[in-house]
Structure 1
Amino acid sequence: FKIEGRYKDLSYVKNTTAFYRREIDRFIETHPEFEQESDGRVTLNFEPSLESAFNRGATDYFTNGRSDRMSAADTPKNSGSVIGSVKSVSRNSFTVKTKEELHNGDGLTFFSDTGELSGFLINRAEFIDEGLWEVFTREPCVSIPGLKPGLKLMRNKDAQWVKKMNAETALRKIPIRIEAKMDDRGLTLCAEDGQHHRAEIRSDADLADAKNEERAKEQLLSSLKKLGNSDFTASDVSLQCEAVKFLPASAMNQLRRDLIEKLEKERLAKRPILQKASENSVQYPIQELDYHANVMNSKAREFYEKHGAHVNQEAFEKGLGDTEAEVMRCRYCIRHEMNICPKQAKARGEKVKPTPLVLKIGKIKMTAYFDCKRCEMSLRAHVSE
């Protein structure tokens, strides 16, 4: 799983990691042949939604075969999810038909008649009736270019959701089972975490008979569940005894704290310690390295040469002279995306040659070549001196 975090805010990372955590847990629950590697269970204080995070849409790429739209060419920005449409526009406000709840500070977007993404922030949102809201903006609504009845609206910022994400959103606790055994000679407490870690303590203090056994049992079990700010949560608490005895709350609380401390020490003592990687003379499998190795600095060159490889070409970004380097080869085809694929043209009764397409970005010239028999596109680049 890859989680992109570059230039993303805290809410993006929280939301995405929570979404993956929830889906992985659901998978494990229905596939007993798998188990999670980490300890604990995560409780989320919100409903993860990838649509609420920054995104440019989604595609299944070639998972289910080739599709007509694999790229988001409309805008490089986050246009958001469709929430409804404009019903009417007045000078200071406009009404929106939507099933969503709108909030002050929400960001709304729309595509203009020219295909440009435009947008604004809601200054105030007022509920009118079921499925109908009145929206006020900072500027006069009649001065917002393109805002008109029937316009499809999207939301790329949910102010209420952002506020929730800025608070505590998740808590990880390790579930443990606690068992109490009571007899005339004292009390034994045992805790297990399900990962082969176990702690046990014994108190031989004299226990008095309980005046109300049912109430005493409830108090004892309730006390054992109170694990506070520890890393644990009590998934199961039980009591075994012939007759319930009375134990002062202060004594019970201290026994519980001692039990948890002993379990923590047991887990720490058995925690595997990763060994520091030692220097070795393993040979790199490729002896001659070109620009594909992406050697940008002396440290990278030093590493490869240390392991028996010779760097005869630096990274593409450092320039390869007059060499045109292949930087990508894939089944995705920009000609197919633009509806100028020879196969598409043939289906329309037209004839199109798969001529290369060129894109220039400063000193970089990229040329897309097409192998229509294999249905592949090769992107080659050249950096001018």
Structure 2
Amino acid sequence: MVINVMIKREVVGFRANTVEKTGENRYRVWPNEMPADLHKVRPHQPLNRNLDHNWQQALLKTSSERRIAVDVTLSGWQEQLVLTMTCEDGVSVTHTLDGEFTEANQAEKALANLRDGVTKLGQTIYYAREVQVNLPPLFVPNSLLNQLRRETAEMLDEARLNAWQRGTRKPVSVPPPVYPETHLSFLANVYNHKARAFYQRYGVQLIDAAYEAHEEKGDVPVMITKHCLRFAFNLCPKQAKGSIKSWKATPMQLIHGDEVLTLKFDCRPCEMHVVGKIKNHILKMPHPGSIVASVSPDDLMKTLPKRKGA
């Protein structure tokens, strides 16, 4: 781990592999290399850890991988192997493999190979939860055992798909719900006909086009944020004494080069509105999602007629 400590207003860091807990919030640390100024540390100066190797290794491991538990049972006799897989949802399949399997010379090693062979499910969506080998110590080539395991896992995939029942949608409520507003401004971001039809289905009568449609050419709020510069500058009317009727904040301006944005304040919901006007060069650009906007310059050059002699 890496530990740092403040020494005369400077942060000094060092590595330590050995740490011993001596009490509550008290540790004894052995640095790998003693920093030159460590003896200047004041007594009871707190130490801070900014790198934990074990924690970093834990984060690098796969922790969100979702796999399905299966119970595996291998049985049979010398002429046939029987492999059964049952997933955690109760779906079960059984597959057989015919052959001439002889008893192995090393019984313990043979049983271990059989157990390992049917539990290697790393390339599938399953993992072996319980494994039972109800079989004498037979010698089974790894190629045949792998084939039996793969085919059984594929059968389980198909069986799970066949057993899955698609959920049903809730019935449409009658009468349909009514949207609380009958007029939507451009802030609702209704840009395509699908969105417009959705709101009209639920009672909205007047729908303004989204800002991307280039129909709002005057000063409009381009951003509404809870972060308020008046509050940051201790100029919030709510902090002043008085009744709520006196809460009135005059607008401010943000100036960056030639850009001027007006800040308007809605104090009741504690919102700051950044007001601006769409630029002329943006108005000349094609609308997002239009055919013209999706054509690259190279494709556009291909549509031009070829010059004579070229």
Indicate how the Cα distance of structure 1 residues 307 and 377 shifts in structure 2: closer, same or farther if over 3 A, else same: closer
Which residue pairs with 2:91 in the alignment? 197
Which residue pairs with 2:266 in the alignment? 369
How far apart are 1:218 and its partner, in Å?
Answer: 1.6
Indicate how the Cα distance of structure 1 residues 304 and 384 shifts in structure 2: closer, same or farther if over 3 A, else same: same
2: distance between equivalents of 1:169 and 1:83?
27
2: distance between equivalents of 1:178 and 1:201?
12
TM-score, normalised relative to structure 2: 0.52
- Any conservation in 2 of the 1:325–1:380 contact (CA below 8 Å)? yes
Indicate how the Cα distance of structure 1 residues 296 and 132 shifts in structure 2: closer, same or farther if over 3 A, else same: farther
2:120 is equivalent to residue 226 of structure 1:
yes
2: distance between equivalents of 1:345 and 1:267?
66
Structure 1 residues 109-165: Cα deviation after superposition (integer angstroms, max 9, x where no partner): xxxxxxxxxxxxxxxxxx8536999xxxxxxxxxxxxxxxxxxxxx9xx9x9xxx9x
**Letter in structure 1 aligned against 2:118:** L
Which residue pairs with 1:258 in the alignment? 151
Q: Count how many residue pairs are aligned between Structure 1 and Structure 2.
A: 232
How far apart are 1:329 and its partner, in Å?
Answer: 7.5
**Letter in structure 2 aligned against 1:264:** D
Which residue pairs with 1:214 in the alignment? 108
How far apart are 1:328 and its partner, in Å?
Answer: 4.2
TM-score, normalised relative to structure 1: 0.44
* Match runs of 1:26-65 below 5 Å: none
Which residue pairs with 1:289 in the alignment? 184
2: distance between equivalents of 1:131 and 1:173?
52
- Any conservation in 1 of the 2:252–2:264 contact (CA below 8 Å)? yes
2: distance between equivalents of 1:99 and 1:195?
52
- Any conservation in 2 of the 1:177–1:237 contact (CA below 8 Å)? yes
How far apart are 1:221 and its partner, in Å?
Answer: 0.7
Structure 1 residues 143-191: Cα deviation after superposition (integer angstroms, max 9, x where no partner): xxxxxxxxxxxx9xx9x9xxx9xx9967654432211224577432111
- Any conservation in 2 of the 1:358–1:365 contact (CA below 8 Å)? yes
2: distance between equivalents of 1:272 and 1:293?
37
**Letter in structure 2 aligned against 1:263:** L
Q: Which has the larger radius of gyration?
A: 2
Secondary structure of 1:257's counterpart equals helix
2: distance between equivalents of 1:354 and 1:131?
59
Which residue pairs with 2:290 in the alignment? none
2: distance between equivalents of 1:180 and 1:132?
66
1:239 pairs, out of 128, 133, 148, with 133
- Any conservation in 1 of the 2:254–2:262 contact (CA below 8 Å)? yes
Indicate how the Cα distance of structure 1 residues 230 and 130 shifts in structure 2: closer, same or farther if over 3 A, else same: farther
State the Cα RMSD in Å. Answer: 5.1
How far apart are 1:194 and its partner, in Å?
Answer: 0.8
Indicate how the Cα distance of structure 1 residues 289 and 203 shifts in structure 2: closer, same or farther if over 3 A, else same: same
Identity %: 22
**Letter in structure 1 aligned against 2:12:** K
- Any conservation in 2 of the 1:174–1:193 contact (CA below 8 Å)? yes
- Any conservation in 2 of the 1:191–1:263 contact (CA below 8 Å)? yes
- Any conservation in 1 of the 2:222–2:275 contact (CA below 8 Å)? no
Structure 1 stretches lacking a partner, 5+ long:
1-81, 89-94, 102-126, 134-154, 276-281, 347-351
Structure 2 stretches lacking a partner, 5+ long:
17-31, 39-49, 169-175, 279-310
Which residue pairs with 1:22 in the alignment? none
**Letter in structure 2 aligned against 1:248:** V
